[in-house]
A = this chain, B = another copy of it.
Amino acid sequence: MTTNRQILLLEQPKGALEESHYELRDGPLPEPGDGEILVRTLLISIDAANRAWMQGATYRKEMTGGSVMEGYGVGQVVESKAEGVAVGDIVACEVGWQDYSVHLGRRVVKLPHDYRPLSHFISILGIAGLTAWHGLMTVGRPEAGETVLVSAAAGSVGQYVGQIAKAKDCTAIGIAGGPEKCAFVTDELGFDACIDYKGEHVRKRIAELAPGGVNVYFDNVGADILEAALFNMAERGRVVCCGAISQYDTTEMASPRGLPGVIVFKRLRMEGFIVTDFYNDNDKAIADLAAMHAAGQIKVVEDVLEGLEQAPRGLIGLLAGDNVGKRMIRVAPDPD
């Protein structure tokens, strides 16, 4: 097994991302240098942010095409020339959409050796759960009794936002697309309510469900749903700007209307964050998430596609909203 399957992003998409923007090839098996490790990919996280990275300078270098598609993941060390990292170790790092990748040993996150399933390091204890926890608890700061609204509520991050809010004695209202997702959000995840943005008038429904206003809105989508939330915020409400999935797969620059007026007269705080900003607090977040999970307060719902070759379809589908729970690609099975 010396070939390395790799999925290339051929070019920066101008409109919607399509499978034709990608190509699967057999690449060379990279060789680790001094201080480096060779990692075999086990799981790849599929995130809306993957698409945003192609949109120009964001918080990381623009992906312009012609190289292996970037992405976070979990893997196992198969060769090590780095101190402190041994063959067999399980690590989290930017594996990319490929079977094997080389990393500086000091730049990867070592994961507990005996914890299974490893998918939890992508979902509840990984990028999805951490994004939800840091965004809600550190940026949004809801107090017990307050109302938390979250869009893409059935998705990777949204499912945790609402469940954490419930665990912290808040009212949790979701927004999701279609009656099946909404039923999942209320019946499986335990949110107090869920608005179907495909079939309901979002602004009116928020007003009905949160007559006292929304204290924290966790925004994963932007555009008209953000606008509907803004006009339903309580005074001194907080809008956690996590993402704008409605804006990634397009070249249009849409914005909610009514800004900054509504921010002034309701004294809102809108604040953006990236999960890696809070890296130093990850231990605290993971401990709290694990405790809520152990107490039965948080269910973990994962959406796992089998096989590296599913990655392009997985991302394109995610952008269209076809996932329920944290989407990831299983490239190789968990080691025993």
Contacts and interface: CB of A to CB of B under 8 A. Distances in A.
Contacts of A274: 264-265, 267
Contacts of A219: 260
Nearest to A253: B257
Interface in A152-203: none
A272 B261 CA distance: 9
Interface in A219-253: 219, 222, 226, 239, 241-244, 247, 253
A263 interface: yes
Contacts of A256: 255, 259-260
A20 interface: no
B222 A259 contact: yes
Interface of A is mostly: loop
A270 interface: yes
B273 A271 contact: no
B255 A59 contact: no
Contacts of A259: 222, 226, 255-256, 259
Interface string A37-53: 00000000000000010
Nearest to A266: B272
Contacts of A267: 59, 271-274, 277
A277 B265 CA distance: 11
Interface in A197-218: none
Contacts of A59: 264-267
A15 interface: no
B258 A265 contact: no
A269 interface: yes
A258 B260 contact: no
A301 interface: no
A29 B58 CA distance: 62
A268 interface: yes
A256 B258 CA distance: 9
Contacts of A262: 272
Contact of A222 (B242, B261, B277): B261
A276 to B, nearest CB: 10
B255 A264 contact: no
Contact of A255 (B243, B257, B271, B273): B257
